[in-house]
Amino acid sequence: MNRGVSPLGTRRIQFDFEFEGVRYRPTLERAPTEANLRRARLQLEGIKERIAHGTFSFAEEFPDYRFKKHVASVAAARTCNDVFDEFLQHVDARVAKHDLAFATADGYRKILANVWRPKLGTRLFSEVRYSELMKIADAHARSKKTYNNVVSTLRCAFDYGYRDTPEKHNPATGLKCLRITKKDRPVIDPFSIQEAEALIAAIHRDWGEAQGNYDEFRFFTGLRPSEQIALLVSDCDVAQGKISISKARVMARDKDRTKTSTDRLVELCPRALQVLKRHLALRARLQLAGKIQHDDLFFKETGEPIRNLQYPWVRWRSTLRKMKTRYRDAYNARHSSVSWNLMVGKNPLWVAKMHGHSVQTMLDTYAAWTEGAQESDVEAIRKAMAGTPERVPVSLPIVVNANPAPEASLSPPEAPEFGSRMAVAHPPGGVSVCSTKRSNGGEGGIRTLEHLLGCYSLSRRAPSTTRPPLRSCPRRLRAPPWARKGTEGAPA
């Protein structure tokens, strides 16, 4: 029994079904082998199911049918614009159910509007070929990240469009994302404690206490910008010295989860706790004056909540560009916090937990910056985190000492947060002598340290005879020539 599918000669297969009260017997150019006949029967079952649900399109199913102009619903063939519209409606429904981030949906909408609709919008969805998609993606992508975003958006839309016809070939499945290596990621460029103190003082001077507290707090907590801007007063426990991180604010919209979808409780160092108490006192004064009628922790000088990250970024950029140090994006305040905690000997497990990323990410990304730090730098970081910073004049540049004194071997003290029974502990003999494996990686030669988890007290190395270290900051914190203009972005 052929069940509506039969061979027609040696090169075609014929279908037999009824659509809108009319019997049709279209053919497809396929050799009538047993395997092809089985696939054709599955296709016919799908056709009948789509006819029953009202989603069948004759032009899409049989684009070469010579009598298709006589088919009543030939005009119902879907174009790529139709599929894109249906896909975005589904995306909006997922956003409403908190199953998809608003920023992701907005990215889909912009990429479809700017890249794919102008080229494919009026084309029949079933007629698009892989080679066309490849040419469009190659023409619009100037970097690996952009290319991957363009390709992944189209793949999601086409996957949605082909769910009604799973037996058909989806040409978008051939589009593959490019591999992102360390050299393709944004450069990590932490601040030295002296640079950070100078910048904090300058922001306080330029923009006032509200903005100054915001940027000082980010240096000594290492929060992601989207997490810090979303903090509420109820998230702060001053008595315990902790803050709860459970949400974020992206593109002026609140999310009920963080970037990693994992809540965490951050323990504040004494300096961060001082800033928090000072800021809460300022907030109480403005609230008493009737300028604050919201629950946000951070606010503008007028008392309004900070809804968009553009506001603090403009002030950060303005102040930093007036200083003598090189420009760096504000996300490097987070990188600085992680590096400082490692430099003063905090347990890597604790540092990773406080900053909301994996231990592997922390070791691969930040560990190399702890090399070559002088004892005076580590002591300055320790004092700053304890709430007694050594103030740096705002008007003075960071000075390089051409003849530095020899570096002393330093073993940072054991982190007070952990006991000796933790999996990460000091090796016998006091100073760590763990073996390291070096490999160039990332822009600027960021090095990764493997096996650091077994010896988190990092030993100091002798200074290079050809490249003298900075007196005021760790050797790895010098500005490479290509970083003078600053970089944007954050990998962690």
172 and 41 housed in the same domain: no
Residues 341 and 456 in one domain: yes
Q: Answer whether residue 44 is part of any domain.
A: yes
Question: Residue 349: inside a domain, yes or no?
Answer: yes
Residue 395: give its domain's CATH number: 1.10.443.10
Per-residue pLDDT at 202: 96
Q: Which domain holds residue 142?
A: 80-180
pLDDT digits (tens, 9 = 90+) for 335-377: 999 999 988 888 888 999 999 988 887 777 776 566 666 788 8
Check pLDDT > 80 for residue 3.
no
Average pLDDT over residues 287-309: 94
pLDDT at 271: 96
Q: Nearest 10 degrees: CA dihedral of 194, 199, 200, 202?
A: 130
Please state the rounded mean pLDDT for residues 303-312: 93
Confidence of residue 440 (pLDDT cuts 50, 70, 90): very low
Residue 272 lies in a domain: yes
Across 404-433, average pLDDT: 38
Q: Answer yes or no: is 149 within a domain.
A: yes
pLDDT band at 70 (very low <50, low <70, confident <90, very high): low
CA 344 remoteness from chain centre: 28
What is the CA 403 to chain-centroid distance, rounded?
A: 41
Q: Where does 222-291 have alpha helices with state H?
A: 225-228, 270-288
pLDDT for 76? 55
Count of the separate structural domains present in the chain: 3
pLDDT, average across residues 391-401: 43
What is the band of 415 on the pLDDT scale with cuts at 50, 70, 90?
Answer: very low
- pLDDT value, residue 387: 82
- Hey, how many other C-beta atoms are within 10 angstroms of the C-beta on 143? 10
Residues 318 and 207 in one domain: yes
Tell me the average pLDDT of the chain: 78
pLDDT bin (cut points 50, 70, 90) of residue 408 is very low
Residue 153 has a pLDDT of: 96
DSSP H/E element including 394: none
Which of 180, 208, 233 is a domain's end point?
Answer: 180
Coil, strand or helix: which one is 179? coil
Interval 33-39 mean pLDDT: 91
Residues 117, 20 share a domain = no
**Percent of the chain as helix, strand, coil, to the nearest 5:** 45, 10, 45
Helix (H) or strand (E) holding 348: helix 348-355
pLDDT of residue 199: 96
The more confident residue out of 257 and 109 is 109
Model pLDDT, residue 112: 96
pLDDT of residue 23: 85
For residue 368 the two structure tokens come to 């190399």
Q: Quick one: pLDDT at residue 247?
A: 93
What is the pLDDT, as a whole number, of residue 127?
Answer: 85
Task: 24-31: list long-range contacts, CB under 8 Å, 24+ apart.
Answer: 24/58, 24/71, 26/61, 26/62, 26/65, 28/62, 29/64
Task: Among 180, 212, 233, give the residue marking a domain's end.
Answer: 180
Same-domain pairing of 436 and 381: yes
% residues pLDDT > 70 (the chain): 75
Residues paired with 18 in a beta bridge: 23
Residues 106-119 have a mean pLDDT of 95
CB atoms within 10 A of CB 281: 10
The residues, ordered by sequence, that sit 6+ positions from 134 with a Cβ below 8 Å of its Cβ are 174, 175
pLDDT at 62 (0 to 100) = 83
Residues 349 and 452 in one domain: yes
Mean pLDDT of 113-124: 93
DSSP state of 236: E
More confident residue, 450 or 278: 278
Regarding whether 421 and 364 lie in a shared domain, the answer is yes
> 297 lies in a domain?
yes
| Residue 188 counted as domain residue | no
Point out the least confidently predicted range of 131-145, 273-287, 298-312: 131-145
Quote the pLDDT of residue 482.
43
The pLDDT value recorded for residue 66 is 78
109 pLDDT more than 50: yes
Q: Using an 8 Å Cβ cutoff, are 318 and 206 in contact?
A: yes
**Are 212 and 331 members of one domain?**
yes
Share of the chain above pLDDT 90, in %: 47
- Three-state DSSP state, 316: helix
Q: What is the pTM of this model?
A: 0.63
The model's pLDDT over 146-190, given as tens digits with 9 standing for 90+, comes to 999 999 999 999 999 998 788 788 999 999 999 988 788 777 888
| Cα distances (Å, whole numbers) of residue 483 to 162, 214, 479 | 46, 26, 6
Residues 462 and 357 occupy one common structural domain:
yes
Whether residue 406 lies inside any domain: the answer is yes
Q: What is the per-residue pLDDT for 453?
A: 35
Q: Could you tell me if 254 and 130 lie in one domain?
A: no
Q: What is the pLDDT of residue 484?
A: 45
The residue with tokens 């409606």 is: 89
Across residues 114-134, what is the average pLDDT?
92
pLDDT, residue 151, reads 95
CATH of residue 147's domain is 1.10.150.130
Average pLDDT on 444-473 reads 38
On whether both 312 and 435 belong to a single domain, the answer is: yes
- Count other Cβ atoms within 10 Å, centred on residue 429: 8
pLDDT tens track for 223-257: 999 999 999 999 999 999 999 999 999 888 888 88
Res 393 pLDDT > 90: no
Residue 132 domain-assigned (yes or no) = yes
pLDDT of 269 higher than 70:
yes
Residues 172 and 248 in one domain: no
